[in-house]
Amino acid sequence: METVRKHVWVSGIVQGVFYRASTVRTAQSEGLAGWVRNLPDGRVEAVLEGPAPAVERVLGWMRVGPPRAVVERAEVVEEPPEGLCGFTVR
């Protein structure tokens, strides 16, 4: 199956609500590689690499987030895969 890479910026109430930790668990459960981090402007940034169906499932989850999150917007850009291994918080 083809590997895809999506670079994501999520805005809203996404810091201080376990968004990063939940993203790691969700991405790992789908077997994805990549990373997630908080940005100084209050957004969360992430990179997802893996099979397209799994990446799309995680993107769908990211548009909602964990229970205390309020996602206002998720900007997604497709990029060439880099062959990342594992999924981490940066």
Q: Hey, which residues are catalytic here? A: 20, 38
Q: Which residues contact 60 (CB under 8 A, 6 or more apart)?
A: none
Q: Backbone phi, then psi, for 75, in 5-degree steps? A: -95, 125
Query: CA–CA separation, 42 vs 59, rounded Å?
Result: 19
